[in-house]
Amino acid sequence: MTQAQYAIIGGTGVYDPALLDHATEHTIDTPYGSASCTIGEHAGRSIAFMPRHGKGHSVPPHQINYRANLYALKEIGVTHVLATAAVGSMRLSLPPGALVIVDQFLDFTKGRVTTFFEGDKPVTHVDMTDPYCRNLRGHLQQTAARENIVVSDGGTYVCTEGPRFETPAEIRMFAQLGGDVVGMTTVPEAVLAKELGLCYATVAMVTNLCAGMSGQPLTHQEVLDEMAKNVHLLRQLFFAAFSTLDPSASSCGCRTAAGSMGE
């Protein structure tokens, strides 16, 4: 089986593995179902690209097979994952186009499987002090500075069940609770990555002000249009980050966050 060292999970509006040389398509079987990705090379690194919502955005956020996706990446040898996420912003200081290296989440999902540790697996409570790998976040921040890409370092991602957008009352509540941006996918993706011992970080791209903040109804098209304008920045940031990443730096502790599963 072809192996990859790093992976990019592309969210809404990021469906193209661009910048990968010698790209080949793969379907990987896992105990949780199968997952598809493209594997190719960039700057001497082997990188897998996985569009989270499937090709053509056919899978809604609450029906994504997150366990198959993450397990498949682990199976092909991936150690570090960078994910994109389209988000609404609850802060006027983070307007459409802003990039946020999120560092915390609030979980408002409802019906998702959020763990590998059930059935015949031992009961395990994974540490979520750093839900996103702190080394990868630092590296993304340094890479962004080098590439002259403006990012906000840190932010709290509120994850909703979807697929509907939020009510203005929900947005007011989330903002009071300390949320900065709202999306529908970081849970359980970040949790499962940690359970598997993967270093994982998300860069959120603000595509809209949240419901009730702009005076206009919110549409999926608006989200897609804003992503299309800025996706090149995410691509530049991720590929530059992977070309300069030292994979042996493991002071983050992600590898063993859930005990032996990551080793």
Closest to 17 (Cα-Cα) out of 58, 48, 61: 48
- Answer for which of 38, 143, 207, 230 binds ligand HPA (CB under 6 A) is 207
- Answer for which of 182, 191, 196, 261 binds ligand HPA (CB under 6 A) is 182
Q: How wide is the angle at C-alpha 103 spanned by C-alphas 101 and 108, nearest 5°?
A: 110
Angle between helices 220-244 and 134-146 (to 10 degrees): 90
Rounded least distance, CB 166 to ligand HPA, Å? 6
Judged by CB under 6 A, the number of residues near ligand HPA is 14
Q: How wide is the angle at C-alpha 17 spanned by C-alphas 96 and 76, nearest 5°?
A: 120
Region from 26-34, 143-151, 176-184, 233-241 binding ligand HPA, contact rule CB under 6 A: 176-184
How is residue 256 written in tokens?
């063993």
166 near ligand HPA, judged by CB under 6 A: yes
Q: Give all strands (DSSP E) within 150-259, no chain letters.
A: 152-153, 156-160, 181-183, 199-209
- What 3-state class would DSSP assign to 14? coil
13 near ligand HPA, judged by CB under 6 A: no
Closer CB to ligand HPA, 184 or 193, in the complex: 184
- Answer for which of 81, 184, 245, 257 binds ligand HPA (CB under 6 A) is 184
11 near ligand HPA, judged by CB under 6 A: no
183 near ligand HPA, judged by CB under 6 A: yes
Region from 81-89, 116-124, 139-147, 237-245 binding ligand HPA, contact rule CB under 6 A: 81-89
223 near ligand HPA, judged by CB under 6 A: yes
- Answer for which of 14, 82, 210, 231 binds ligand HPA (CB under 6 A) is 210
Amino acid identity, position 187: V
**Which residue intervals of 26-133 are DSSP H helices?**
66-75
Closest to 238 (Cα-Cα) out of 54, 11, 1: 11
Q: Give all strands (DSSP E) within 52-184, no chain letters.
A: 80-89, 99-101, 104-108, 152-153, 156-160, 181-183
- Whether residue 19 contacts residue 235, with contact meaning beta carbons closer than 8 Å, is answered with yes
152 near ligand HPA, judged by CB under 6 A: no
40 near ligand HPA, judged by CB under 6 A: no
Rounded least distance, CB 123 to ligand HPA, Å? 32
How is residue 201 written in tokens?
């970080």
Closer CB to ligand HPA, 48 or 184, in the complex: 184
Closer CB to ligand HPA, 153 or 170, in the complex: 170
Rounded least distance, CB 208 to ligand HPA, Å? 5
How is residue 198 written in tokens?
């993967």
Binding-site ranges for ligand HPA (CB under 6 A): 86-88, 160, 165-166, 182-184, 207-208, 210, 218, 223
